[in-house]
């Protein structure tokens, strides 16, 4: 069920014994070849995979803005501060209490980490039943490279401009992280890419989606075995 398209009696008929899945992304540059809402599309795809064939999961509308300060120098980037993001998610969690057993937050933007950590801290303090999960691809490049390009080719290939794809900064993330934190992405990579899209494919993207969805499902199943 997609919450935005549901009527309230349909939600009421679930009897409260269901989970709300909230995708969280960002609206930020993803190089010259990927759309600004790449992270949001990935989060939504994973949320829908989690809820597929599970009658007691409802997918909420995506939170389309994230903590993207490192991308602020690129046109089109719209962002929330870490504290604001945490406040928004906490308000959603609290308002979900009356209708849902718990909330699963699915984030596909690494920059949301600080805000999500704060949400986790507050939820633990308040006794909220929440799982917070973020995408992570071991060995994947950092931003708008082969990993995300493959994922978008699997999700919606019409949005990917492979004719515009080009490598950016390919240094290991660990070596450039201090500069990224201090100066943002643009001084490190003028085209916004941290990696190289070369070799990206829909086939690879489907495999990545399946692996990520499996990891997410296992986490949720462990938390709510009777519901998930």
Q: What is the pLDDT of residues 74-95, one digit of tens each?
A: 999 999 999 999 999 999 999 9
The predicted model scores a pTM of: 0.96
Cβ of 156: how many Cβ atoms within 10 Å?
A: 13
Compute the half-sphere exposure of residue 209: CA atoms within 13 Å on the CB side of its CA.
26
Residue 228 pLDDT = 59
Q: Express each pLDDT in 56-76 by its tens digit.
A: 999 999 999 999 999 999 999
d(CA 87, CA 35): 26
What mean pLDDT do residues 111-126 have?
A: 96
Domain ranges (residues) in the chain = 3-221
Q: Express each pLDDT in 186-214 by its tens digit.
A: 999 999 999 999 999 999 999 999 999 99
d(CA 103, CA 126): 14
Say which CATH architecture domain 3-221 belongs to. 3-Layer(aba) Sandwich (3.40)
What mean pLDDT do residues 222-228 have?
A: 83
Give percent of the chain above pLDDT 90: 91
């Amino acid at each position: 069920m997609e919450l935005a398209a549901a009527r309230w009696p349909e939600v009421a008929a679930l009897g409260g014994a269901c989970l709300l899945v909230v995708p969280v992304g960002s609206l930020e540059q993803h190089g010259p070849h990927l759309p600004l809402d790449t992270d949001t599309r990935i989060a939504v795809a994973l949320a829908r995979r989690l809820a597929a064939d599970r009658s007691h999961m409802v997918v909420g509308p995506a939170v389309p803005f994230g903590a993207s300060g490192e991308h602020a120098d690129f046109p089109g980037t719209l962002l929330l501060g870490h504290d604001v993001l945490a406040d928004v998610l906490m308000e959603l969690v609290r308002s979900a209490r009356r209708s849902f057993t718990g909330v699963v937050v699915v984030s596909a933007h690494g920059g949301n980490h600080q805000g999500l950590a704060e949400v986790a801290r507050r939820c633990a303090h308040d006794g909220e039943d929440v799982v917070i999960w973020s995408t992570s691809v071991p060995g994947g490049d950092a931003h708008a490279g082969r990993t995300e390009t493959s994922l978008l080719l699997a999700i919606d290939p019409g949005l990917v401009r492979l004719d515009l794809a080009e490598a950016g900064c390919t240094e290991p993330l660990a070596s450039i992280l201090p500069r990224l934190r201090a100066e943002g992405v643009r001084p490190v990579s003028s085209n916004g890419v941290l990696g190289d899209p070369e070799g990206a494919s829909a086939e690879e993207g489907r495999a990545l989606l399946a692996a990520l969805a499996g990891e997410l499902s296992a986490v949720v199943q462990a938390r709510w075995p009777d519901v998930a």
